[in-house]
Chains A and B, each alone.
Chain A
Amino acid sequence: MPAISDTSASARSSVDPAEIARFSAIAAEWWNPHGKFAPLHRLNPARIRYIRDRICAAFGRDPEAERPLEGLRLLDVGCGGGLVAEPLCRLGATVTAIDADPQTVGVAATHGREMGLAIEYVATSAEALAAEIAAGKRPAFDVVLALEIVEHVSDVDFFTGTLASLLGPGTLLVMSTLNRTPKSWLFAIVGAEWVLRWLPRGTHEWKKFLKPSELARSLETAGLTPTETVGLVMELTGSFRIEPRDLDVNYMMLARKP
């Protein structure tokens, strides 16, 4: 952990207010697969499959079972509309999902209720939840997901430190984000925002993207052990597949908490 300044950890936040305002404006769009979040809908099958399989491998579950994640306590940080929380709940996990934006959490919670899914949605920050765990008000999690979120936070090391404190011993952290390469600038900024307009312009700031080595170092500093990094590659059809060696644009990283 980096040295903490004079502000206390619980009062400090990794949330950037300008980013929150942007997402709030488009919260209702979350569940429209052809809407502004179409890229996340397209990412979903590949990344849910990867997450399911890796959680199953880590906890000795059968991925082909009807509810393979039954009983595992899972936290989705930066849950957005619940695109990841809902499938993992259907697969059996006991899901807590948080987002800093109350409107987005409202959208997600409403949708989850309509789907008959018991997901605990909370409009809070990872830091506040970590403080609850530290105070013994709730147990630590078996799995923490932080997907497409670290590229939006203002202090990466502080954020990964918080993620580490949400996990119990012998548990799993799953992250996904965008690499900082010329190709990712071309695909994620020029392609997705300027040309194809899949994302509103200004969704991403390329300079905030992390190279895998930088993220791994930050996780190690937080006391976690990175175990695997894989790429997510877009196919010509617009869907994605896991590609272990191509980390140039989107990638996922797993880390164990010893």
Chain B
Amino acid sequence: MEVADCRTIARGDLNAWVTRLLGRAEVIAPVRGQGGDEVFASIAAPEEVLWSFRNPLLPPKHLLLPQTDTLAEFRRVDGHYQVQEPPPPRPKILLNARSCDAVGLAFLAEMHAQDLTDAAVLRRAEALTVVSLACHQPCPLGFCVCCDAGPFLEHDFDLQLTDLGDRFHAEPGTPKGQALLDLAPDLFQVADAAAAEQRFALEQQALASFGKETCHFGAAMRRISTRRVAEDLWEKMSPWCLECGGCNHACPTCYCFSVADRTENGCTTRCRMWDSCQYAEFTLEASGHNPRPKRADRMKRRFYHKVSAQYFQRDGRVGCVGCGRCVQVCMGTTDMPAVVGAIRRGNWVSGRPA
């Protein structure tokens, strides 16, 4: 980001800007759901967008990895199969993603570009513009500061907004983000020194207000990567896991999937669906052999994948963005900070004070 590229926009002009975004692409933003909670959804009018909100329970990872995603379609015609590819993705703009979710999306895009590329995900990432909204305050369960995923970002966003009160500070990170500013040159002013200073002060204040609720990966990573986590520690923790898969489904960086065929009206659709490495059947082979028969094995797998140095080397970051969603959804308290803390201390204190 060059300081000269930064812009500010008056709070009153935001709706006019969002209207122009809507004219260009589908806009997904946090909105008030029917149950009163916050969710990421497609908007029809700029008034629906929430500018101050609690981070939705489900991350916007479905924009890259839909919960059910068509891989191919087979239609039977005269004893022959027609194989059809799913249509190319349409351009989308994700507005007001929190920093952690922007990093999660960048993680997924990078991961699917490795080795044998997954063109479907990469095309979606190419068509998606991420507008992140920096956080002034740590959220109650968040520990993004430990994962280089917030509260303010230096990378992994297309356009970063900061709420300065009566106006918003906007810094483009990529040409895609710059294009959104260029849509409304009349609404954006070049950011003055006061705006830059205020943004910097807010970042310092946000960093300073992280409390004890942090997750120290270093020690846990060393132990997991060198196999120095006591086997009985996993055994002690595993009864607290209910194998619900909630941590995986709510995680912005979990990407494992399963594939199944569905046939309707002579057309077979091959879909991939979110899967969870905590399910016993995840590794169950047709012969009946299961390489990870015990729950402890599967928990070990999950944290090895997220925290080990081997995966850190591959991905360049830990498989966690510190959003705190696993803390929120886990009924058994085997969430990321709790397990990382247990590995660091070497003992498991069951349960978390309510």
| Chains A and B bind each other | no
B contact set with A: CB distance below 8 Å:
none
